[in-house]
Chain A
Amino acid sequence: MRPLRLFSRVGFSLLVLLVFVYLVFPFYWAVVSSLKDPQELFATPVTYWPRHPRWQNYLDVFTMQPFGRNLLNSAVVAGTTTLLALLVGSFAAYALGRFRFLGKRPIYYAILAVTMFPQISVLGGMYVLIKTLGLYNTWWALIFSYMIFTLPFTVWVLTSFVREIPRELEEAAYVDGATPIQVLFRVLLPLMAPGLVTAGLLAFIGAWNEFLFALTFTVDDRARTVPVAIAFFSGASQYELPWAQIMAASVIVTVPLIVLVLVFQQRIIAGLTAGAVKG
């Protein structure tokens, strides 16, 4: 019995290690590649650790590419989108999570359905609308169009949080003569803080990572966000992709996300499963 047990424990540990390496290796590889100089990057056999780490690659991203501007665009777009979705979404979540009224179910279903919408199915109409409103190639084109996936999702996550808050505090406030808006802002929102963090994080990550609309509604670096920039990084010639810079930029945008995930992992998992499992 004992050797068998030992064998299965070793097997289990090896399996865990294998899965861990599988999950983390591509990111490790991006970090290693981002620190290689051109000779080492384009050399065979491949090296698994940079011989002379070249930190210059990280500076090149900002001097040889307009990456600073792209980061600013992404931060403004994702930040504004998130704040707007949270503000508008918490009103709707309060209505859906607390009040009884005719038509609640169809409204809830409709909002739920929009979260599953393929973005491509509105691309043509959205393009024409954005052109007509004069928003093309601006931050607002993206903030405007990102509402389609951030707002319904935010309403959905926040509604599930509102339902879990006990009613007593609100009722006490109403008895004291507070208006519904006062109740929402003074009583409910503070209690919803964890929900706001969860929904806000997921909305921010969604907006930060979005590609199709950003690709289609921007033409140059005035509004181009990070994902589009990383897809389009170009080198000295058309045939020579600046891989070290692409990997450096990839690391730059991924590290903040990984930090967010590390700090808020419980909340993120709660939000994802609230969204997907509880429905």
Chain B
Amino acid sequence: MARRSLSKRQARIAWAFLTPTLLILLVVAAYPLFRTFQLSLYRANLLDYPLRPEWVGLANYAYLVQDAYWWTSVKNTVIFTVVSVALETVLGLGIALLVNARFPLRGAMRTAMLIPWAIPTVVSAQMWRWMYNDVYGVVNDLLLRLHLIAKPLAWLADPHLVLPAVIAVDVWKTTPFMALLLLAGLQSIPEELYEAARVDGAGALQQFAFITLPLLVPALLVALIFRTLDALRVFDVIYVMTGVNPSTMSMSVYARQQLVDFGDLGYGSAISTGIFLIIALFVVLYLTALRVEVD
């Protein structure tokens, strides 16, 4: 009996402590999410104040499924996500293995790895935009000096080059983050395993294939899903470097253009809801894959 009242008291205190967080999240997350979904069923102009929403049912969604610009933005986002996450994983793993080795100035290297991560995305986008400049940019200058290209390229104007150019910026910015996550995974592998393998005569490649890689899978999986979720909602780097150019426009850029630039609150909200559903699917996968332990 005493035990039960104690646990009841515990629960009361816990809920009291949770209340401020839950209230805030209700107002800043749950309500706007619901409101966005609700607005997606209306036609409404952002600039009207107060709003004069007009019920249109699923008309916005009917338009969405046959909107060529939307599908272009989906295609761009998928290409961006798949290519950048794949490159970041491979490069990140390489850098993690490199930094995991002991060498002088290793500390400096780890600090250097945090620099791209700490720089605001907008700032790194502007830095690279300047580096990509077709006439005065350092990228063309370096590639010309190394004889990798014959004449300067218009990185951000050529429709074939612009998406790869933007992906390269994302890879630069987030590879170190990936490497740090993988490095933490690498460092949790017990050294004895490698010693045992060496005693048994396993070479470096065998050690990598049979010890490092299998034990790194959990960290790799988490980093992969984490980055995928991030890449699917990409906005800053694309918006700053190329604006609403159809060659690079991501789902988020398109949603914001409809919502804010065109003031089409209903249709913009329908796009937002579409993005939410796509990402929610990944979040469910993420939580299942991780099987997060609470206690």
Interface positions of A (Cβ within 8 A of B): 12-13, 15-16, 19-20, 22-24, 26-27, 29-30, 33, 41-46, 88-89, 91-92, 94-96, 99-102, 104-105, 107-114, 116-129, 131, 144-145, 147-148, 151-152, 155, 180, 184, 205, 208-209, 211-212, 215-216, 226-228, 230-231, 243, 246-247, 250, 253-254, 257-258, 260-262, 265, 268-269, 272-273, 276-277, 279
Q: Roughly how many angstroms separate A1 CA and B265 CA in the complex, as a whole number?
A: 70
Min CB distance, B7 to chain A, in Å? 7
B123 touches A269 (CB 8 A): no
Q: Other CB < 8 Å A-B pairs besides A16-B98, A89-B21, A91-B18, 20 of them? A: A20-B109, A22-B172, A27-B119, A46-B141, A95-B13, A101-B14, A104-B14, A118-B279, A120-B235, A121-B273, A123-B256, A123-B268, A205-B118, A250-B126, A257-B118, A261-B115, A261-B117, A265-B111, A277-B222, A279-B290
SS class of chain A's interface: helix, strand, loop or mixed? helix
Partner of B118, one of A94, A110, A123, A260: A260
Partner of A122, one of B36, B111, B138: B36
* Neighbouring A residues of B101 by C-beta, 8 Å: 12
Residue B11 is within 8 A (CB to CB) of chain A in the complex: yes
With CB as the reference atom, state the residue of chain B lying closest to A109. Answer: B287
Residue B259 is within 8 A (CB to CB) of chain A in the complex: yes
* Neighbouring A residues of B251 by C-beta, 8 Å: 120
A231-B181 contact, Cβ under 8 Å, with A45-B141, A131-B49, A212-B252: no
* Neighbouring A residues of B37 by C-beta, 8 Å: 125
With CB as the reference atom, state the residue of chain B lying closest to A91. Answer: B17
Which among A20, A33, A46, A180 has the greatest number of chain B C-beta atoms within 10 A?
A46
Number of A-B residue pairs at CB separation under 8 A: 292
With CB as the reference atom, state the residue of chain B lying closest to A208. Answer: B120
Min CB distance, B292 to chain A, in Å? 4
Q: Roughly how many angstroms separate A117 CA and B37 CA in the complex, as a whole number?
A: 14
A114 touches B25 (CB 8 A): yes
Min CB distance, B213 to chain A, in Å? 17
A30 touches B127 (CB 8 A): yes
* Neighbouring B residues of A27 by C-beta, 8 Å: 115, 119, 127
* Neighbouring A residues of B21 by C-beta, 8 Å: 88-89, 91-92, 111, 151, 155
With CB as the reference atom, state the residue of chain B lying closest to A18. Answer: B98
* Neighbouring A residues of B127 by C-beta, 8 Å: 26-27, 29-30, 247, 250
Partner of B226, one of A15, A128, A184, A276: A276
Min CB distance, B177 to chain A, in Å? 7
